[in-house]
Structure 1
Amino acid sequence: MSTSHIRVPLVVPGTVPELAEIEARILSERGRISLLYQVLLNSPSIASGWESMLTAVRNRTGVPADLREMIILRVAVLNDAAFEFDAHVPHALEAGFAQAKIDALRAPVPDASFTEDERLLLALTDRITREVQVPAELMERVNARFDPATVVELVATVAAYNMVSRFLVALNISH
């Protein structure tokens, strides 16, 4: 894989002794230090905070894994973040999200193959990602369906993965 297109240098794991603690934490949570984290390690404080926030979003909420991965994939589609999309397809499949639905996330409007909850969360994801502002009617529907903790976690998931995709795209992190 050529990384010459990335707009900042990669930090090769194990080459900067001051990063050993954060690298160990990343390895513990992720199992590897991915290309994204090799970029993030240019700023230890950002890498550390990023790892904490994204670990909370991915591994410490009540959002079902299939819905979380659906949201992440949709954000990636909307923001043209192929690296993020490709990274999360295996997670979505592992969570039981069907390949046909993964493919359907590329459509401008979700089709009838999605459940009512999935369509509601895709509407929320699309509004937050495309326009930031969420109409009161849509938030009322989300609040009627999910408890407050889950609403916070769902919105945080959309927001966090918008951050991820925008970071990846801005710094040209791709395969």
Structure 2
Amino acid sequence: MSSAIRVPLVEPGTKPELADIEATIRAERGGEIAVLYQALLNSPAIASGWEQMLTAVRNRTEIPADLRELIILRVAVINRASFEFAAHAPLARKAGVSEEAIGAVGSWSEHTELFSADEQLVLELTDRMTRDVNVPEELAQRLQARFDPRGLVEVVAAVAAYNMVSRFLVALNIIH
């Protein structure tokens, strides 16, 4: 596989028609426009919709940050999205995920002692949705017993959204 990113990166500030979306990205992402967004800016509509959706998943849900970041790291491992893993490992640490858990997320089911019951539940969901798409009824029932409807929608949306992110990154060869 070639190591080159498969689309040109849009240098922030070089296209006046992108000023509004760039300002939104900067506001939501702490002032920086990462390489992922520089690739997305090739399509203003996709960049805008992406930012709205991922900002909602990242910053406007009630999912505890540690659960969200474990979901993202697990998706990244399964889909071999090194950029996504590298971007979210520091966020997982900040959310209180231990170094041991971050290191074990790739084989979490062999290291269940490192993960709470809630963490194991969302990791199991992440595995099923990412690998099989289908969520077995037994797992769905355990999720419904743990999460209210909003929480369940938000956890499932986090898994789905970060599968989209990782697949975009891998397909366009966006790596650190």
- Normalising by structure 2, what TM-score? 0.96
Question: Residue 110 and residue 158 in structure 1: after superposition, are their counterparts in 2 closer, same or farther (change >3 A)?
Answer: farther
- Runs of 4+ aligned structure 1 residues displaced above 4 Å come to none
Matched with 1:19 is: 18
- Say which structure is richer in helix: 2
Partner of 1:89: 89
Identity, % of aligned positions? 66
* Match of residue 51 from structure 1: 51
**SS state of the match for residue 62, structure 2?**
coil
User: Any idea what the Cα deviations from partners look like across 1:103-136, whole Å, max 9, x if unmatched?
Assistant: 0102163522211111111110000000000000
Q: Distance between the aligned counterparts of 1:70 and 1:106, measured in 2? A: 10
For 2:18, what is the secondary structure of its paired residue? Answer: helix
Match of 2:139 in 1: 138
- Report the Cα distance in structure 2 between the residues aligned to 1:108 and 1:171, rounded to whole angstroms: 28
Give the conservation status (yes or no) of the 8 Å contact 1:110–1:122. no
Q: Are 1:110 and 1:119, in contact at CA under 8 Å, matched by a contact in 2?
A: no
For residues 109 and 168 of structure 1, the distance between their equivalents in structure 2, rounded to whole angstroms, comes to 26
Size of the aligned set, in residue pairs, is 172
Instruction: Say if 2:102 is the partner of 1:107.
Output: no
CA distance in 2, matches of 1:110, 1:156: 26
Cα RMSD for the two superposed structures: 0.9
Residue ranges of structure 1 left out of the alignment (5+ in a row): none
- Contact 1:8/1:171 (<8 A) preserved: yes
Aligned residue for 2:7?
8
Counterpart of 1:36, as a letter, is L
Q: 1:35 maps to which residue?
A: 35
Q: 8 Å contact 1:71–1:157 — kept in the other structure? A: yes
Cα distance in 2 between the residues matched to 1:20 and 1:174: 25
Amino acid corresponding to residue 9 of structure 1 in structure 2: P
CA distance 1:116–1:33, shift in 2 (3 Å)? same
Q: Name the SS for the 2:33 alignment partner.
A: coil
TM-score normalised per structure 1: 0.96
Instruction: Verify: 1:120 aligned to 2:114, yes or no.
Output: no
State the SS of the aligned residue for 1:109.
Answer: helix
Equivalent residue, structure 2, for 1:164: 165
User: Do the aligned partners of residues 68 and 110 (structure 1) sit closer, same or farther apart at CA in structure 2, a change above 3 Å counting?
Assistant: farther
Which of 25-34 and 102-111 deviates more? 102-111
Where does structure 2 lack aligned partners over 5 or more consecutive residues? Answer: none
